[in-house]
Chains A and B, each alone.
Chain A
């Protein structure tokens, strides 16, 4: 069974600070996706990383895929209250048609 470990599990910081959350596995994934989920809603896809060492930027969010395609990080610059939510990483072991393996997520709270 492939497992994705996310850390930290909970993070509460002040508006304007920077933060990094991590997604680690002992397994290799063909791609890795990051989602944000708000209470009572379904996850919303933020980005997909495919190539080892790949870096993608989405405004203040920077996503990196590890060289070995076993881990990923999400860095947020100058966090805002609107960034509050549950951040989930999900790995695709091949093709994606058979569903994704999800981590437990990082609960992020940005205080004004």
Chain B
């Protein structure tokens, strides 16, 4: 079973607030990812990281930012939340096994911006 954690699990905040979604993994994986998922829709990659001090933007444009100061930690920050940011945010990490990167997901953070 994957050891990847996200906090908080649920967050309801007002417009304009700064928030940070936490993601930690204890598996020592170099690769980490953030996906955004709206209800009934597919996951969209918004950020990823190859390792410490590496951050890249994903396929879906996002106003959020990420940092990777430690291998196990990959927080996502919204400087000024808006209702359009309401969504589920999923963190994942992966390892190279048998020539493949298989991704393990955290439980997600459901964000509601009022």
Contacts and interface: CB of A to CB of B under 8 A. Distances in A.
Interface of A: 1, 4, 31, 33, 35, 40-45, 48, 50, 88, 90, 92, 95-105, 107
Contacts, number: 71
Contacts of A45: 102-104
Given A41-B107, A43-B105, 14 more contacts: A31-B100, A40-B9, A40-B107, A42-B91, A42-B106, A43-B90, A88-B43, A96-B94, A97-B31, A97-B101, A99-B33, A99-B35, A103-B42, A104-B41
Given A50-B100, A97-B101, A99-B59, A104 B108 contact: no
B42 A105 contact: yes
Interface of B: 6, 9, 31, 33, 35, 40-45, 48, 50, 56, 58-59, 90-92, 94, 99-108, 110
12 contacts: A33-B103, A42-B6, A42-B92, A43-B43, A44-B105, A48-B102, A90-B103, A95-B101, A96-B100, A98-B56, A99-B33, A104-B41
A98 B56 CA distance: 9
A102 B56 CA distance: 18
Contacts of A41: 107-108
A40 B9 CA distance: 9
Contacts of B100: 31, 48, 50, 92, 96
